[in-house]
Every structure is written in C-alpha cells, then in structure tokens.
C-alpha cells in the first residue's frame, strides 16, 4: 500500500515561508484555523512545523506576558473555538470514530455526564496499525488515489 | 467492539477545573505539554475542552497584543517544541503510521526534500473507518481492555 493514497497535496495545504514575520504567521494561522502549519523555504524545502502552542509559549516569553493579570481572568472567559464533543460510554464505535475525524481526542462521559476519561487519536491509530500488521493488510495491493489521478 | 477498549481513564488524564484562572490553566498546559486539555466542573461533569490555540487567540485579544512588534519578529525566532518529522514519498506504510502516533499530520517530501503535501490523521482514521465498515469488523466480538481490568 502506497502512502501517497493518503496525501493532501501542497496545492491544498496552508503553509508559511520561513522568512515571514511572526505577525504574518499569526494572521495566516488565525485565518485558516489550523492548529499547526508547515513551514517551507522559498525554494520549496520542508523546514519544520509551527503550532499554535509554539506561538503561545513564544509570545508569552517574547512579549513578557504579565501573568499577574492572567490570575484574575477566569479560564472560562477564553472563547473556545471548537469545543470537543464528548461520547457516552455506550456509544457505537462508528460514532466515536466519526468524532475522531475532527477532534484530537474524544472526551468520554458516563450516564450522569461525568467525565471518565478520553480516547486519543493515537490509541485509535495504534490499534489499527497493530491490527493491520497482524493481518498483513499492508502488503495487499490497493489502488492508490495517487495512481488514479 | 466496545469503545472503552480505547479509553485513557480520568486518573491518567490532565484536566483543569472550570473555576481556575487563565494563569493556572496556562501553567498546567505548559507543564503537561498537551495541546488541548479537558475542562471539568468541581462535581466531575465534562464542560468543554480548551486548546493552546484558544489561549493564543484569547490572549492576543484580551492582552491587546501589539502586532506592530510582531512584524519585526521572524517566525523562525519562535522555538518549535516538537518539530514534525517528514516522511519520504516512498516510505513504508508502517513508518508513516508510526509518525502519525505522535504528530497531528505528517509532512511528505520528495527525493530532493521538497515539500509535496501532508498526510493528516483524519485521512488515516477515515480510511480505517471505511475499511472497517466494509469488512463489518465493528461487529466482531473483541476482548476489551475495560473488561479485562
């Protein structure tokens, strides 16, 4: 199986150039609403990936964010762009996987809506990875999206 | 198949309480290095999930971040905590999946290290989801981790 089957081509990907300013990068990320974005050179080489977290911690240090002020801001005052939807413990596998398409993890709640833990994408991919290795599906010939195009 | 098989229980999950301050939340996130963290009530209810991005944009607005200054900061001056490792176009499926365990997407480069696109976890999960639906594996009885414990 060819990994290009899974590729989102550069033409459909938002990226930043390594010689851009923090401001340009911030604006691009805010506009596209991606939590991480690849950085490339003007000649097209992959340089690295910058995340919202890198920017958060970078800004916190570079701009000497006054944490004293942050003490009086309740965390609930921060708008949440995309609230992760939970699944109930008795949800079907399909519904859980459906959530996993759009969230980095899925909060799990019991009947009383108590939070009992999370399901990470990592665990899901790990499961399928191991299942695939056991079944040897990786060796199966498949028509790749790349070959069709 | 029971979704609890995939559960990371609350006892092993970092979370914040909804009545905490922005400062407490920031410190918890910086310490745990998670890009998003569930928020629960003192009675244990799931409230929502806050991401580094929410904090970045919230702080940018709340603290009236001076973007003029950010114009002169090159984006490469921001330290990148965990640089996403790329895969080459001819990588094996196993190596790509291995990367997918720890990165939200995998940059793909050609032989000249040119960036040609990305593989998202969403595409990977979508593929296995569809494959599972086709094969009807979801109905197979499996021993769940939850039942064993």
Q: In Å, how far are A36, A71, B11, B55, B131 from A83, measured between CA atoms? A: 17, 23, 22, 13, 28
Q: Which residues of A touch B103 (CB under 8 A)?
A: 49
Task: Provide the Cα torsion A107, B9, A127, A50; round to 10°.
Answer: 60
Q: What is the pLDDT along chain A (149 residues), one digit of tens a residue?
A: 788 889 999 999 999 999 999 889 988 988 888 889 999 999 999 999 999 999 998 888 777 666 777 788 888 888 888 789 999 999 999 999 999 998 989 999 999 989 999 999 999 999 988 888 888 755 544 444 444 33
The verdict on a CB contact (< 8 Å) between B49 and A83 is yes
Q: Tell me the per-residue pLDDT of B102-130, one tens digit each, with 9 for 90 and over.
A: 898 999 999 998 999 999 999 999 998 88
Task: Report chain A residues whose CB lies below 8 A from the CB of B49.
Answer: 80, 83-84, 103, 105, 107
Report the residue of B35, B118, B142, B144 to disrupt the A interface, i.e. the one with the largest count of A CBs within 10 Å.
B118
| Cross-chain residue pair B81–A53, CB shorter than 8 Å | yes
| Angle subtended at Cα A97 by Cα B106 and Cα B117, rounded to the nearest 5 degrees | 20
* Residue B37 touches partner A, C-beta closer than 8 Å: no
Residue A128 touches partner B, C-beta closer than 8 Å:
yes
Q: Do B35 and A58 touch (CB under 8 A)?
A: no
Checking if the pLDDT of B145 tops 90, the result is: no
B91 touches A at CB < 8 Å: yes
Query: Residue A66 and residue A52: Cα distance in Å, rounded?
Result: 19
The 10 Å CB-count burial string (b at 16+, else e) for B108-134 is bbeeeebbbbbbbbbbbbbebbeebee
* Residue (of B60, B118, B67) closest to B89 by Cα position: B118
Residues of chain A neighbouring B101 (CB-CB closer than 8 A): 122, 125-126, 129
Distance of CA A21 to the CA centre of its chain: 23
Q: Which residues are within 8 A (CB) of B88 and not within 5 positions of it... i.e. 6 or more apart?
A: B108, B109, B110, B111
Q: At which residue do the structure tokens 């939590």 appear?
A: A35
Interface contact B136, partner A, CB < 8 A: no
Check if B128 contacts A (Cβ < 8 Å).
yes
Looking at the complex, does the CB of residue A149 fall below 8 Å from at least one CB of chain B? no
pTM over 0.90: no
Alpha-carbon span A52 to A54, nearest angstrom? 6
What is the nearest CA distance from B137 to chain A, expressed in angstroms? 10
Nearest-angstrom CA–CA distance, B26 and A53? 11
Q: What percent of chain B has pLDDT over 90?
A: 47
Q: Would you list the DSSP string of B24-72? A: HHHHHHHHHT-SEEEEE-TTSBEEEEEEHHHHHHHHHHHTT--HHHHTT
* Phi, psi values for residue A4, rounded to 5°: -65, -15
């Amino acid at each position: 199986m060819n990994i290009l089957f899974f590729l989102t081509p550069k033409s459909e990907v938002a990226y930043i150039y390594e010689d851009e300013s923090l401001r340009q990068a911030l604006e691009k990320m805010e506009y596209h609403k991606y939590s991480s974005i690849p950085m490339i050179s003007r000649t097209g080489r992959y340089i690295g990936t910058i995340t919202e977290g890198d920017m958060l911690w970078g800004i916190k240090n570079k701009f000497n964010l006054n944490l004293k002020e942050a003490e009086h801001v309740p965390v609930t005052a921060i708008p949440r762009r995309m609230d992760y939807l939970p699944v109930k413990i008795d949800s079907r596998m399909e519904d859980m996987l459906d959530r996993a398409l759009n969230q980095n993890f899925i909060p799990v709640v019991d009947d009383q809506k108590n939070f009992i833990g999370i399901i990470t994408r990592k665990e899901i991919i790990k499961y399928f990875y191991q299942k695939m290795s056991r079944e040897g599906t990786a060796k199966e010939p498949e028509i790749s999206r790349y070959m069709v195009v």
